[in-house]
Structure 1
Amino acid sequence: MRPLLLFYVLYLVCVCLGVLCVAFVSYWNHHWRGGFAWDGSGLQFNWHPVLMVTGLVVLYGNAAVLYRIPLTWGQNKLPWKLLHAVLMFMALIMSIVGLCAVFDFHNKGGTPNVYSLHSWLGISTVVLFTAQWALGLGVFLLPYSPVELRKLVKPVHVWMGSAIFILSIVSCISGINEKLFFSLKGGSNVTKPYSALPPEAVFANSLGVLIVAFGLVVLKILSNQTWERPEAGQVDGSSRPLLHDEN
């Protein structure tokens, strides 16, 4: 298969898997977990997985592969830099609101915060994401940043981007598993234990598989050097700050 065709096949798979991830996590929390609210109840907690999967995984992953789309290569890079930054900012806001939802729910219910491995991973991911976005804004978008600094920071920025994405997937997978263990304890006519693999468990496990599949496709796209955006001349295109447009 030709490299260009292979890219678009993978990109189409990436988009479809992303849509499925959002649809699955939304349906899970609407159908089995009772829906959504912002009142400190369990319905408020339901916003947490939806916002984290949508923002920290799906939106983040699509923003990460934006520069790899060949149709953008012959165009001015400035709009795509802005779109990349805006999508990442939206993902960051979603993740912060998702954290607020779970912290508020825990505080109103008297549940301890930040004691599980999932919470440690999630908090670390959002903190790193915040630092990464602020660094990208200061170095790659704002004017008058030294060219040598941009060249020095770019490899770190790219590596951190992939690392944060992987941490996001691990955090979401561990969160799904933790939620199922807490919710499907059995001992009643309402729910069966997780070990009995009731329909909710099958559905949520499938969501986890979709998230992993989405992550693998994104990482495959990012790892293929032939799909990197060609540089403009001798100067790294990503080294141009926001107010220095490319023609």
Structure 2
Amino acid sequence: MKIFYVVYSLSLLLGLICVIIVIAWNTCYRGGFAWDGTAKMFNWHPLCMVSWFVLYGNAILVYRLPFTWSSSKMILKLVHAILNLGALTLAVIGLLAAFGFHNKMHIPNLYSIHSWVGFAVVILFSLQWLLGFLSFLLPCAPLWLRAAYKDVHVFFGIFFLTMTIAACLSGINEKLIFVLNGANSSVPYKELPPEAYLANVLGILLLCFFLSVTWMLYKREWKRPNPHTSVLSEATEPLLSEH
């Protein structure tokens, strides 16, 4: 468990640093934040999306935290749902900022792979949250429905996390191309402005956060123990059978 807490602490630190870097990037190089239809309004988009990604990663890890293993499963489900709802709220605000800016400036919406992936994951993530709420939190949901949907819910939880990191990295690249007026691979890296270095560091740290979260989900011995299952049968369960 000491190793788990080291990795978990590292993931928390990486997530916090990523959010701070996004704030610094948009404050120091992009003019700050506003909600007036200008480029400052768009700056809310990367901040909300990175914050969504970090909060979503931590919501997935709720069931992995050893100090929660003695807690009621229903309490953990509520915490998991609330954190994901907070992440979804940030995602919606981020989309509103992007669409609001584009509409104000008469820029087409959904014209790049970044926008397609990002918009799709927000819509599907909303559906995932709703189905999870109906299946696992409502007392009227039958046990057979919970059992049938559980593996699907877990699979798409990891899948959406992967889609989100893809949207974040492609968004950083797209933003740099626009603001740096077409910087490309033909330009020596040492000649790039400090803003590009900062954005590239952000992308690397986001990837490291993603890897730390997926590693904690992958390790079978860090899974929440099932009090109704023997140790031998637990060892034969599929990976990620529990959040």
Q: What TM-score do you get using the length of structure 2 for normalisation?
A: 0.90
- How far 1:78 moved relative to its partner? 2.2
- Over the matched positions of the two proteins, sequence identity in percent amounts to 49
Whether the aligned pair in 2 keeps the contact of 1:59 and 1:88 (CA below 8 Å) is yes
Query: Which of residues 138, 155, 165 in structure 1 aligns to 2:151?
Result: 155
How many residues are paired up? 226
Query: Which of residues 212, 216, 235 in structure 1 aligns to 2:211?
Result: 216
Secondary structure of 2:32's aligned partner = coil
Distance 1:149 1:106 in 2: 42
- C-alpha change, 1:121 and 1:186, in structure 2 (3 Å) is closer
What residue in structure 1 maps to residue 46 of structure 2?
49
Distance 1:75 1:131 in 2: 27
Structure 2 gaps, min length 5: 230-243
* 2:50 corresponds to 1:30: no
What residue in structure 2 maps to residue 108 of structure 1?
104
Distance 2:190 2:5 in 1: 40
Distance 1:40 1:14 in 2: 34
* 2:118 corresponds to 1:122: yes
* 2:73 corresponds to 1:63: no
What residue in structure 1 maps to residue 127 of structure 2?
131
- How far 1:77 moved relative to its partner? 2.2
- How far 1:224 moved relative to its partner? 1.1
Give 4+ residue runs of structure 1 displaced > 6 Å after superposition: 192-195
Q: How does 1:186-201 map to 2 (within 5 A)?
A: 196-201=191-196
- C-alpha change, 1:182 and 1:80, in structure 2 (3 Å) is same
* 2:124 corresponds to 1:141: no
Distance 1:79 1:193 in 2: 53
Q: Which amino acid aligns with 1:228?
A: K
1:192-229 Cα shifts (integer Å, max 9, x gaps): 99883110000000000000000000000011121111
Distance 1:33 1:80 in 2: 39
Secondary structure of 1:65's aligned partner = helix
- C-alpha change, 1:132 and 1:194, in structure 2 (3 Å) is farther
Whether the aligned pair in 2 keeps the contact of 1:176 and 1:204 (CA below 8 Å) is yes
Distance 2:141 2:160 in 1: 24
Aligned-CA RMSD value: 1.7
